[in-house]
């Protein structure tokens, strides 16, 4: 598979440069007026992505008016989420929508409360009840309340997402939604190494992930083409190792303040940032920055192509482990979340023996700084540490032996995050005409990316080992938000639904109708999505 990958990706570089030159994709291209359908009918409670676990429709709708208040309970978190909701609703409705902390008193309007007594809602679930007098969202934890607010957004007309005043009316269909996630891990990965993305571009993506109740943002912070995070004890990693990107552009890196701002912004949207430093392969940017990390003591030049598998840290030099420890220590200090991803994929320039030695030394360092290891599934070729998670990125063509190696680790207690490249990779072309992306795992149309069951995906792996799903977005061919969006939309919501919704709701024909209804929302938000032919988009 990897050989295949090499050849394909090399040929693809030429075409991606042509696309970039043509400037075919722009962020926030002037959206066409929304085709919201009959704006006097409320959106049905079932027309939500991810599909809610349970919906009971019925009763009169609630109408948001100029007199509506957002009533929150007396917690800081409920108030914060109330303000977030107000920020979404005020520009398009033109209403004042004051946020008041009196949700305990009876009355109508929008009510947000963290005082649900219903234990079955867990840490991320919510209940939304709507009727003539109001809409109440209740949860036990802030994440659940936040997810409930995302559901409320989708129950309002698409025009609610616009940033200028719209006519309404603003109806929420009557009934009850009770909703909890299937999996705890619902991730998206962004490769900020092959192309660098600014803090604002990352925030824009975070906002898009939050819409679909994703809860992990995995940042691929280092690779051959760029090191993107400031490390004080090894400053040239960022200043030199981060100074370019694929195609030779200026690259860039996050200062620690930048990175903390990303973590804060994500946390405010209930996403945990999972940082990845890929090792021992995919390390040319580090090797170019410090000659002493190389076995021969000679720093290679910076790299701006899209080959993989040619670089390796020097497994038999002690300084390698000083380097790893310094990086892990500084990164762990920036990371409130539990996980640190150490990569471990495509280490084709590292012998198997060296790979095992390296992973045996590095995994305890992660634990020493209080974090849990995640690695790409090649980590199962070594001995995954206690509690480690393996991220599976194989395809239908992955050998039975390689799949079995991962399944055996799963039977032994290693948790799995599923990112099958021929299903969940957002950088794969949709079809032969897709102007961006790669195709080494084949074309991945919208149905293919949605139509699989994570619980039964990997033969021999117990369903209980599956922690969830993640959609990686590799950026060899992608250089700005518009291009990210073109590849992520409309496939990302499908992966989000696989992570959230019960398998019993899975149905491609119903899903494509719900997905089509998101189009006008993306138009309203200025998201540059691909109008894939397998989805019945409403006319613009």
CA–CA distance, 44 with 51 (Å, rounded to integer)? 12
CA dist 529 → 25, 104, 202, 536 (Å): 10, 42, 17, 14
CA atoms within 13 A of residue 418's CA, in its CB half-sphere: 32
Of positions 358, 393, 450, 537, contacts ligand TNX by CB under 6 A: 393
Of positions 272, 276, 427, 523, contacts ligand TNX by CB under 6 A: 427
DSSP string covering 6-75, please?
HHHHHHHHHHHHHHHHHT---TT--PPPP--S-TTSPPPTT--SSPPSEEEE-SPPEEE-TT--EEE-SS
339 is an interface residue for ligand TNX by CB under 6 A: no
- What b/e string do you get for 435-468 counting C-beta neighbours within 10 Å, with b at 16 or more? bbbbbbbbebbbebbbebebbebbeebeeebbbb
C-beta of 6: minimal distance to ligand TNX in Å? 10
Residues sharing a CB contact under 8 Å with residue 234, sequence separation 6 or more, in sequence order: 289, 290, 323, 326, 327
CA–CA distance, 403 with 415 (Å, rounded to integer)? 14
C-beta of 479: minimal distance to ligand TNX in Å? 14
Nearer to ligand TNX, 346 or 497 (CB): 346
C-beta of 307: minimal distance to ligand TNX in Å? 10
Nearer to ligand TNX, 109 or 281 (CB): 281
CA dist 241 → 234, 251, 288 (Å): 10, 9, 7
Q: How many residues bind ligand TNX (CB under 6 A)?
A: 10
Nearer to ligand TNX, 196 or 376 (CB): 376
CA–CA distance, 355 with 306 (Å, rounded to integer)? 23
Nearer to ligand TNX, 179 or 346 (CB): 346
C-beta of 340: minimal distance to ligand TNX in Å? 16
Of positions 376, 430, 489, 537, contacts ligand TNX by CB under 6 A: 376
Nearer to ligand TNX, 126 or 392 (CB): 392
C-beta of 475: minimal distance to ligand TNX in Å? 8
Nearer to ligand TNX, 36 or 346 (CB): 346
474 is an interface residue for ligand TNX by CB under 6 A: yes
C-beta of 439: minimal distance to ligand TNX in Å? 9
523 is an interface residue for ligand TNX by CB under 6 A: no
Of positions 345, 445, 470, 485, contacts ligand TNX by CB under 6 A: 345
C-beta of 227: minimal distance to ligand TNX in Å? 15
Evaluate whether 238 touches 222 at the Cβ level (below 8 Å): no
Structure tokens given for 361: 């030394």
Of positions 346, 422, 445, 470, contacts ligand TNX by CB under 6 A: 346
Residues sharing a CB contact under 8 Å with residue 516, sequence separation 6 or more, in sequence order: 535, 536, 537, 538
| Residue 346 bears catalytic tag | yes
Q: In this structure, what are the phi and psi dihedrals at residue 26, rounded to the nearest 5 degrees?
A: -125, 150
Ranges within 236-275 binding ligand TNX (CB under 6 A) = none
Closest by Cα among 337, 404, 418, 338 to 376: 418
DSSP string covering 215-265, please?
-EEEEE-EETTEE-B--TTSTHHHHTTTS--GGG-----B-HHHHHHHHHH
Summarize the chain as % helix, strand, coil (round to 5): 40, 15, 45
Closest by Cα among 347, 416, 412, 404 to 383: 412
425 is an interface residue for ligand TNX by CB under 6 A: yes
C-beta of 236: minimal distance to ligand TNX in Å? 23
Closest by Cα among 328, 327, 220, 325 to 275: 220
**Candidate list 129, 161, 276, 346, residue with the active-site label:** 346
Nearer to ligand TNX, 108 or 300 (CB): 300
C-beta of 377: minimal distance to ligand TNX in Å? 8
Of positions 192, 308, 461, 525, contacts ligand TNX by CB under 6 A: 308
CA dist 197 → 70, 95, 202, 242 (Å): 35, 35, 6, 12
Nearer to ligand TNX, 376 or 452 (CB): 376
CA–CA distance, 465 with 110 (Å, rounded to integer)? 39
392 is an interface residue for ligand TNX by CB under 6 A: no
Structure tokens given for 293: 């990390």
Nearer to ligand TNX, 283 or 505 (CB): 283
Of positions 438, 492, 515, 532, contacts ligand TNX by CB under 6 A: 438
Active site residues: 346
Contact footprint for ligand TNX (CB under 6 A): 308, 345-346, 376, 393, 425, 427, 438, 474, 476
């Amino acid at each position: 598979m990897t050989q295949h990958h090499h050849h394909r990706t090399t040929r693809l570089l030429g075409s991606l440069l042509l696309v970039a030159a043509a400037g075919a994709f722009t962020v926030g291209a002037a959206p066409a007026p929304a085709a919201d359908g009959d704006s006097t009918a409320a959106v049905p409670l079932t027309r939500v992505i991810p599909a809610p676990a349970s919906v009971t429709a019925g009763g009169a709708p609630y109408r948001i008016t100029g007199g509506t208040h957002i009533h929150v309970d007396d917690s800081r978190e409920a108030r914060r989420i109330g303000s977030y909701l107000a920020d979404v609703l005020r520009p398009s409705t033109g209403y004042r929508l004051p946020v008041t902390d009196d949700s305990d008193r009876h009355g109508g309007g929008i009510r947000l409360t963290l005082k649900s007594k219903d234990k079955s809602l867990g840490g991320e679930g919510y209940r939304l009840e709507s009727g003539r007098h109001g809409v109440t969202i209740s949860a036990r934890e802030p994440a659940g309340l936040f997810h409930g607010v995302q559901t409320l957004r989708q129950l309002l007309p698409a025009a609610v997402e616009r940033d200028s005043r719209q006519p309404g009316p603003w109806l929420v269909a009557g009934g009850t939604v009770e909703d909890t996630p299937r999996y705890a891990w619902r991730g998206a990965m962004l490769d900020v190494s092959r192309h660098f993305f600014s803090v604002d571009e990352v925030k824009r993506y975070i906002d898009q992930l939050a819409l679909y109740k994703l809860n992990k943002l995995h940042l691929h912070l280092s690779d051959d083409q760029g090191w993107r995070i400031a490390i004080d004890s090894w400053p040239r990693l960022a200043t030199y190792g981060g100074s370019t990107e694929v195609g030779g552009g200026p690259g860039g890196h996050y200062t620690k303040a930048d990175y903390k701002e990303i973590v804060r912004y994500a946390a405010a949207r209930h996403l945990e940032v999972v940082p990845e430093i890929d090792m021992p392969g995919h390390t040319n940017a580090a090797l170019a920055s410090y000659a002493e990390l190389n076995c021969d003591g000679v720093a290679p030049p910076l790299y701006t192509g899209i080959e993989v598998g040619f670089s390796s840290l020097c497994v038999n030099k002690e300084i390698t482990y000083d380097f790893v420890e310094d990086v892990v220590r500084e990164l762990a200090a920036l990371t409130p979340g539990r996980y640190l991803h150490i990569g471990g994929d495509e280490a084709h320039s590292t012998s198997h023996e060296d790979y095992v030695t390296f992973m045996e030394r590095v995994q305890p360092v992660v634990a020493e700084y209080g974090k849990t290891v995640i690695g790409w599934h090649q980590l199962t070729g070594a001995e995954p540490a206690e509690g480690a998670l393996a991220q599976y990125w194989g395809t239908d063509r992955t050998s039975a032996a390689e799949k079995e190696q991962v399944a055996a680790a799963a039977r032994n207690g290693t948790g799995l995050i599923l990112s099958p490249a021929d299903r969940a990779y957002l950088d794969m072309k949709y079809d032969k005409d897709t102007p961006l992306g790669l195709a080494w795992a084949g074309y991945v149309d919208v149905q293919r990316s949605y139509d699989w069951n994570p619980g039964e995906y990997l033969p021999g792996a117990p369903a209980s080992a599956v922690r969830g799903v993640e959609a990686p977005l590799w950026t060899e061919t992608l250089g700005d938000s518009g291009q990210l969006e073109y590849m992520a939309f409309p496939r990302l919501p499908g992966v989000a639904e696989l992570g959230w919704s019960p398998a019993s709701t899975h149905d491609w024909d119903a899903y494509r109708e719900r997905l089509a209804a998101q189009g006008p929302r993306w138009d309203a938000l200025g998201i540059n999505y691909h109008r894939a032919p397998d989805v019945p988009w409403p006319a613009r």
